[in-house]
């Protein structure tokens, strides 16, 4: 008998985890937790995005849905306009609920609307042009330019600045207005290098914007008002060998250069004298319009702008008006004073408002030097 002891059978011991395995396991566990948390957060965000963005909002926002826009693009537009919380969620909603045939057009929507309400509204179709949702009013001050009018309209109506400026560039609309008001607009439409054909033709006044009124209807009111005011003067304008565009151009400069009617008539006389002598009008108002913004002090570079509106550099009337002038300024242009005195220059005392007129550049420069000490 063999007395050697047989080895006793033992179960293998539990293998110890390496440090690398522990790290991997920890990372996987953290990622799993984060994934669960992200899923919960996304679920709650998704659910909140299905609800109205602002249930209490009564503000009406005009939204333009372009022709051929996909539901994804529409969702993005609605998100940008702050009608829905998330455009992608809107896209998912309309697809999952089989909302097809979302149509182009202008819509008046609210952030308090549900996705269901928005989708159904988009199925019904919008208007072909912007319209006003509630009654309001727009005040166009004297001397306001197209850019100023755009800001006024966008701040007091449903119409956006972009929609208004786009209409100001709409040539087919301009031609339809010219056909309606040939005496008023023919010279503007014939002018070259014009920034806006209706610059100068939107009469300064307060306009009531009724519910369901279109943007074109609002602009039509402004142009019609200008035509009504100028109708008694068309014969006089023609008799003076002027065009409406030229009269309104000078009036838009006079509007900003002078305050009292007597000064405006004298300034008008200076402008006509300079035009007769082939001299540039050299108005800061024209330069500011040329460079596109107001400046306290114009630089030498500003004065050399190549814009045809720069009447500091170029002689004549230029392309057209620089703002929408008042009848006071228009009448000053039609009735200039002191032309026979031969004034070619003027400068204002900014503290008193008094304007000094000169015949020669030397005399003018002397006044400028004297006033610069007073004004500063």
Strand, helix or coil for residue 143:
coil
Number of C-alpha atoms within 13 angstroms, CB side, residue 199? Answer: 25
Phi, psi of 81 (to 5 degrees): -85, 0
The string of pLDDT tens digits covering residues 118-146 is 999 999 998 888 889 888 899 999 999 99
Other beta carbons within 10 Å of 282: 17
| Residues above pLDDT 90, as percent of the chain | 61
Reply yes or no on whether the pLDDT at 371 is more than 90: no
pLDDT band at 11 (very low <50, low <70, confident <90, very high): low
Taking the C-alpha atoms of residue 199 and residue 144, their distance in angstroms, rounded to an integer, is: 9
- Picking from 260, 261, 280, the residue whose alpha carbon sits closest to that of residue 270 is 280
The string of pLDDT tens digits covering residues 17-72 is 667 666 776 677 677 666 666 556 544 555 556 778 788 888 888 899 999 999 99
pLDDT band at 348 (very low <50, low <70, confident <90, very high): confident
Q: DSSP letters along 179-210, please? A: HH-HHHHHHHHH-SS-S-TTTT-S-SSEEEE-
Q: Is the dihedral of CA 130, 136, 142, 143 positive or negative?
A: negative
Q: What is the mean pLDDT of residues 3-18?
A: 56
User: What local confidence, expressed as pLDDT, does residue 21 receive?
Assistant: 67
Taking the C-alpha atoms of residue 160 and residue 142, their distance in angstroms, rounded to an integer, is: 21
Q: Give, as one character, the DSSP assignment of residue 14.
A: P
282: alpha, beta or left? (left if phi > 0; alpha if psi -120 to 50): left
Integer CA distances (angstroms), 119 to 45, 56, 125, in order: 20, 19, 10
- Average pLDDT value for the chain: 88
The string of pLDDT tens digits covering residues 223-243 is 999 999 999 999 999 999 999
User: What local confidence, expressed as pLDDT, does residue 48 receive?
Assistant: 57
Taking the C-alpha atoms of residue 239 and residue 301, their distance in angstroms, rounded to an integer, is: 39
- Picking from 183, 182, 147, 181, the residue whose alpha carbon sits closest to that of residue 165 is 147
Taking the C-alpha atoms of residue 40 and residue 327, their distance in angstroms, rounded to an integer, is: 66
Q: What b/e sequence results for 20-32 when a residue is b if at least 16 CB atoms lie within 10 Å of its CB, and e otherwise?
A: eeeeeeeeeeeee
Taking the C-alpha atoms of residue 335 and residue 237, their distance in angstroms, rounded to an integer, is: 11
- 230 is written with which tokens? 């100028």
Q: Give, as one character, the DSSP assignment of residue 78.
A: H
- 107 is written with which tokens? 């819509």
Taking the C-alpha atoms of residue 231 and residue 110, their distance in angstroms, rounded to an integer, is: 43
User: What local confidence, expressed as pLDDT, does residue 101 receive?
Assistant: 87
Reply yes or no on whether the pLDDT at 331 is more than 90: yes
User: What local confidence, expressed as pLDDT, does residue 30 receive?
Assistant: 73
User: What local confidence, expressed as pLDDT, does residue 304 receive?
Assistant: 86
Taking the C-alpha atoms of residue 237 and residue 252, their distance in angstroms, rounded to an integer, is: 16
Other beta carbons within 10 Å of 105: 17
């Amino acid at each position: 008998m063999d007395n050697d002891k047989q080895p006793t059978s033992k179960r293998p011991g539990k293998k110890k985890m390496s440090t690398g395995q522990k790290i991997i396991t920890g990372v996987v566990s953290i990622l799993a937790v984060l994934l669960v948390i992200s899923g919960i957060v996304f679920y709650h965000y998704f659910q909140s995005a299905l609800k109205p963005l602002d249930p209490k909002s009564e503000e009406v926002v005009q939204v333009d849905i372009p022709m051929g826009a996909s539901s994804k693009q529409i969702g993005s537009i609605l998100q940008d306009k702050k009608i829905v919380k998330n455009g992608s969620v809107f896209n998912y909603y309309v697809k999952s609920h089989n909302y097809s045939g979302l149509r182009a057009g202008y819509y008046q929507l609210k952030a308090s609307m549900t996705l269901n309400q928005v989708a159904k509204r988009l199925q019904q179709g919008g208007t072909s042009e912007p319209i006003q949702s509630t009654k309001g009013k727009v005040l166009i001050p004297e001397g306001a330019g197209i850019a100023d009018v755009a800001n006024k309209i966008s701040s007091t109506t449903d119409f956006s600045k972009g929609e208004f400026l786009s209409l100001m560039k709409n040539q087919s609309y301009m031609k339809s207005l010219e056909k309606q008001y040939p005496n008023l607009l023919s010279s503007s439409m014939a002018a070259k290098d014009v920034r806006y054909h209706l610059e100068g033709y939107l009469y300064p006044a307060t306009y009531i914007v009724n519910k369901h009124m279109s943007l074109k209807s609002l602009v039509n009111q402004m142009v019609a008002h200008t035509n009504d005011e100028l109708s008694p003067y068309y014969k006089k304008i023609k008799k003076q060998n002027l065009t409406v565009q030229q009269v309104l151009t000078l009036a838009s400069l006079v509007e900003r250069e002078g305050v009292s009617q007597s000064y405006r008539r004298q300034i008008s006389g200076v402008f006509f004298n300079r035009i007769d002598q082939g001299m540039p009008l050299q108005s800061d108002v024209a330069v500011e319009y040329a460079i596109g913004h107001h400046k306290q002090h114009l630089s030498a570079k500003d004065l050399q702008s190549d814009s045809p509106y720069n009447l500091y550099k170029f002689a004549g009337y230029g392309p057209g008006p620089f703002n929408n002038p008042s009848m006071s300024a228009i009448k000053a242009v039609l009735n200039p004073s002191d032309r026979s005195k031969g004034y070619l220059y003027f400068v204002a005392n900014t503290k008193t408002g008094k304007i000094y007129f000169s015949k020669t550049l030397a005399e003018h420069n002397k006044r400028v030097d004297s006033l610069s000490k007073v004004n500063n």
